[in-house]
Structures are given as C-alpha cells and as structure tokens.
Amino acid sequence: MINKKWIMTGGLALAAIVALRVQATEPPSVRNVVFILADDLGIRDLGCYGSDYYETPNLDQLAAEGMRFTEAYSAHPVCSPTRASLLTGRYPARLHLTAFIPGEEYPKAKLRPPDWIKYLRNSEVTYAEAFRDTGVATFHVGKWHVDSEYSGDKSPQRQGFETVHAGGSPWQENLKDPHHLKEYTEAIETFMEERAADRFFAVLSMDQVHVPLYEQEELIEKYRKKAPGANGQNNPVYAAMIERMDWSVGRVLAKLKELGLEENMAVVFFSDNGGLSNVYDEKTKKSIIATSNLPYRGGKSQIYEGGIRVPFMIRWPGVTKPGSTCNVPVISTDLYPTFLSLAGLPLRSEQHLDGLSLAPLLRGGTHLNRNCLYWHYPQYQTLPPHGAVRSGDWKLIEHYEDGALELYNLADDPGEKTNRVAIYPERAGQLSQQLHKHLETLGAQMPTPNPDYNPSVFWRTDSTHGKRDPYEAKQDQDPRRYVTDPNLDYGATWTLGTQR
C-alpha cells in the first residue's frame, strides 16, 4: 500500500531542493539603482575605453568593479531621441521623436517629416513610472530635454519622477559651478541621505560634456601642459570638463559607500550619444576639435560608429564579475528592462517593445535573442537624412536623399573605411530590405521630396531652431498615432544567414 505521508514528505523535500536550485541560479536583485547619464561623451573619452589624454580614475574604477560594454549604442546620434528611448524602451522611429528638440529647419532636397513629435508623450509609461508604481522612490536631477523645456522645470514629474531637482540653463557660463555639476551632485547626495532607509531609483543627468565648452582656468591649464593623446585628443577645455564629470561620479560612489548602500546598489553609467567631433570657437572664428572618436568614424549627429557607439558600464554587486567586458551589441532601449531586472521587478514587454533585459549578459552570458539593431534619422543636421541596420558584424547605412548605400564589416573595419556594397551587393540589398521592413512596421516617418529645392543656393546648416509643436501643451488632443502592437514582428529576431 502506498504511504501517502511518505509521498507528501518526499514531495515537499523535492520542491525545497528545486527552490534552492532556482534561487542559486537567479541573480540577487538590488535594493536601489543609481543611473548616471553623461551628455555627448564619446566612446574614447574615458581611460578605460582607451583615452591616454583624459583622466577618469573614478569611472575607470567603476569599470574595474563591474562590467564594461565595448559595443554599446545610443538609439540615435543626438540627445532628445536617445533620452526618449532610454525612458520608454522604444526606438525613436516608433515614437516619431527623431531629432533634438525643437530641431532645425532649412530648405533642402528633402522635407523632414512635418508632424514629427517634439515631446515625449505623457501616455508613455517610463521606467520611472514602473518603479514608482511599485513603491520605489524616484529622483531626477539635471538635463531632461524630451520636451520643449530643456531644463529648469518639473517636467520629469509628469513621467514618474516624484522628486525633481530642476537644472539651470546650460548655455550661461557659471565658472563658480561649471554646468551646475556641483549643484547636481549635492542634490543627488542629499536625496540618498534622506532616503537611505527606503528603496529608491536616482538619476543624475549631467550637462557634461555638451557645449558650450568651458571650465575653470586652473583645471584647463593642467591639460595645456599635457602631451596630445595617441588618437588626436588634445582639447584642454574638454579634458577639464571630463575631469569634473569624473569627480562627480567619484562623489556619488563615495556617498554610497559612506551610507552603507554600495553592496545592495546597482550603478549604471551611459552616454546619450557619441562624442562631438568639431565645435565652432567664437574666439578664433574657426572650427576646432572637441574630441576625437578615432579609430571610429564620425561623431555626434551621424550614424557612423563615432556618433552612436558610447561608453556603458554596470556594477551589479554579486552578479557582474569585476573587471569583465561584454562585446555583445546592445542599445539604449535595453536599459529600461535591465533596470527592472536589476531591482527584481517584472518586465513590461508591452511597453519596452524594442528593448531586451541585459541580465543574461551581466550574469556572464554571451548572446541575446536578437540579430539586428536599427537607427533612423529622417532629418538634416551635419549629414542629410539617413538610417542604418546592424546584423552581426555587418552594418548598412542608407542615405535617404539619393538611396546610396554603405556596407561595412565592423569586425574587419571598425573605422568604416571600406564600403563593400560593390563586393557584396546581395547582402547590401537584404539589409536594405530589412531596414525598410523595420521602419514600415514601426510606422516610421520618412522625409519627402522638396519641390521648391534650389541646389544653387547654399543654406547654412546651423540656422535657427524649428518651430514648437502645436500639440505640446494639449497632448490629449494630438490626433497622431504610432505603432504600439507588441505582437508585430519588427525585425528584432530576423536573421541574415551567416552573422559575420
């Protein structure tokens, strides 16, 4: 006769063993998360990413204590679209937010989408709202720039940040506190002190190293005496700004340790786009180098590697192996679900449609269930409208004015020097087709021909900013729609034969 008591006891024991095994394989969630977002910081602008001119001991230490991503990308080569992608886990093309706000206007061969959206819709459920709704205290200080107000307002409160320290104007020089960074640093320190007993998600959104380039003279002088970097970095003002940025990171990390929070705290560092290559110097009336992204091509506003490849590191105590690196391509839309994974919160796949949690990589994994990354810039800035797709090591850039294609193998040619379209026309055609499919499925807006374009007239590309969006103040009355169906195949799992 079967002993029911033995079966019950044995079953409970087996369940306990299974539970212990599950607990052993699942990473421990953290109580708190700090997210530090730099502005215009290039892929080669930190010591841990190869700079021998800039000095970044605190960020280098953070990399030594966590995981550093070598192929991390912003979803757009300028700030507002990438920041929107971070907040929502959605591509800028899906959001129709495809330029810095409010953008620029000039009569070119193509007309930019006339109804592109110059704000992040209030209806979007951001990662801050996801944290707030589970009882986690949320904080934001510094640059916002996903609506018409660049800074100095409480806009983040509409998107889930309960406590907001509004930023000052970054355009007015303040040599006592350049770019308000001391103010911002003290604000996040105060918040962490006041909420040390609570669960919290805190964001420090810097203005460094965005223009205008300025710093205190004694810090600049230090770099004037220094030999240029091997890849051409040699702007002492920019270098001084980076040192102050690194100082801020060091202050935040020291405060976490002082409060006894660092062992149960994830720290994430990211940049909103690639480094600015050139800047106009008002004193010399010439264009000068802000930073060098070499060996990567291009810089901010361009979908070449220098404009979209960015520094990215995560320290997740008990999970990330100290000093580890990850060479899997990842993108800014991935941060939303990753934040949730860090804190042990359920994913919201219906919201972060274009992002994947990076938890498997942080645990030491070597791949994600995704084969393509995409970029879409249907507006003019330093280049005409263009877009791109990366599949494995292959990257295709398509120029929307004339349909010209560029094909590169990033493993062999990270500097994008040799266009291989003529050698691999079939592969270029496949990737172009996939890019079009992706954009169509997302409801992406495209530039259209300008019937009044006069190619004999030169138009400055640094002209006045565009007009404000008429729906900004009354979003509920905005009739424009965009794709939100999470069940649509928009190309994230599409495979192009051999991935090399």
What pLDDT shows up at residue 106? 67
Is the pLDDT reported for residue 265 higher than 60?
yes
Best mean pLDDT range from 63-77, 206-220, 486-500: 63-77
Confidence category of residue 328, pLDDT binned at 50, 70, 90: very high
Please indicate whether residue 127 or residue 456 has the higher confidence score (pLDDT).
127
* Cα distances (angstroms) measured from residue 229 to each of 52, 232, 287, 306: 5, 5, 19, 17
Residue 164, pLDDT > 50, answer yes
Residues 77/300, Cβ–Cβ less than 8 Å = yes
379 token code pair: 């507006």
pLDDT confidence of residue 16: 44
Residues 57-82 have a mean pLDDT of: 98
pLDDT value at 287 more than 60 = yes
Which of these ranges, 9-13, 57-61, 72-76, 230-234, has the smallest mean pLDDT? Answer: 9-13
d(CA 20, CA 388): 45
Query: What is the arithmetic mean of pLDDT over 221-231?
Result: 95
Average the pLDDT over each of 99-103, 368-372, 433-437, 457-461 and give the range with the smallest value. 457-461
Three-state secondary structure of the chain: CCCHHHHHHHHHHHHHHHHHHHHHHCCCCCCEEEEEEECCCCCCCCHHHCCCCCCCHHHHHHHHHCEEECCEECCCCCHHHHHHHHHHCCCHHHHCCCCCCCCECCCCCEECCCCCCCCCCCCCCCHHHHHHCCCCEEEEEECCCCCCCCCCCCHHHHHCCCEEEECCCCCCCCCCCHHHHHHHHHHHHHHHHHCCCCCEEEEEECCCCCCCCCCCHHHHHHHHCCCCCCCCCCCHHHHHHHHHHHHHHHHHHHHHHHCCCHHHEEEEEEECCCCCCEEEECCCCEEEECCCCCCCCCCCCCCCHHHHECCEEEECCCCCCCCEEECCCEEHHHHHHHHHHHCCCCCCCCCCCCCCCCHHHHCCCCCCCCCEEEEEECCCCCCCCEEEEEECCEEEEEECCCCCEEEEECCCCCCCCCCCCCCCHHHHHHHHHHHHHHHHHHCCCCCEECCCCCCCCCCCCCCCECCCCCCCCCHHHCCCCCCCCCCCCCCCCCCCCCCC
What pLDDT, on a 0 to 100 scale, did the predictor assign at position 463? 43
Question: Per residue in 355-365, pLDDT tens?
Answer: 999 999 999 99
User: For 428-437, what is the mean pLDDT?
Assistant: 97
Predicted local confidence at residue 283, as pLDDT: 73
- Confidence label for 281 from pLDDT (cuts 50, 70 and 90): confident
The per-residue pLDDT of the chain, averaged, comes to 87
pLDDT tens per residue across span 198-214: 999 999 999 999 999 99
What pLDDT is recorded for position 152?
45
- In the chain, the largest separation of any two C-alpha atoms, in whole Å, equals 98
When mean pLDDT is compared over 102-106, 121-125, 209-213, 253-257, the highest value belongs to 253-257
Q: How does pLDDT run across 439-465, given as a tens digit for each residue?
A: 999 999 999 988 888 776 555 444 445
Complete domains list, the chain, with CATH: 29-371 (3.40.720.10), 374-477 (3.30.1120.10)
**pLDDT digits 0-9 by tens, 466-480:** 565 666 656 666 776
CA distance 127 to 77: 22
Are 139 and 201 within 8 A, CB to CB? yes
pTM (global) more than 0.85: yes
- Specify which residues 73 forms β-bridges with: 309, 331
Mean pLDDT over 120-126 rounds to: 92
pLDDT score recorded for residue 148? 67
CB 311 within 8 Å of CB 37: no
Separation between Cα atoms, residue 123 and residue 128, nearest integer Å: 13
**CB 357, CB 130: distance < 8 Å:** no
Among the residue ranges 13-17, 278-282, 314-318, 441-445, the one predicted with the least confidence is 13-17
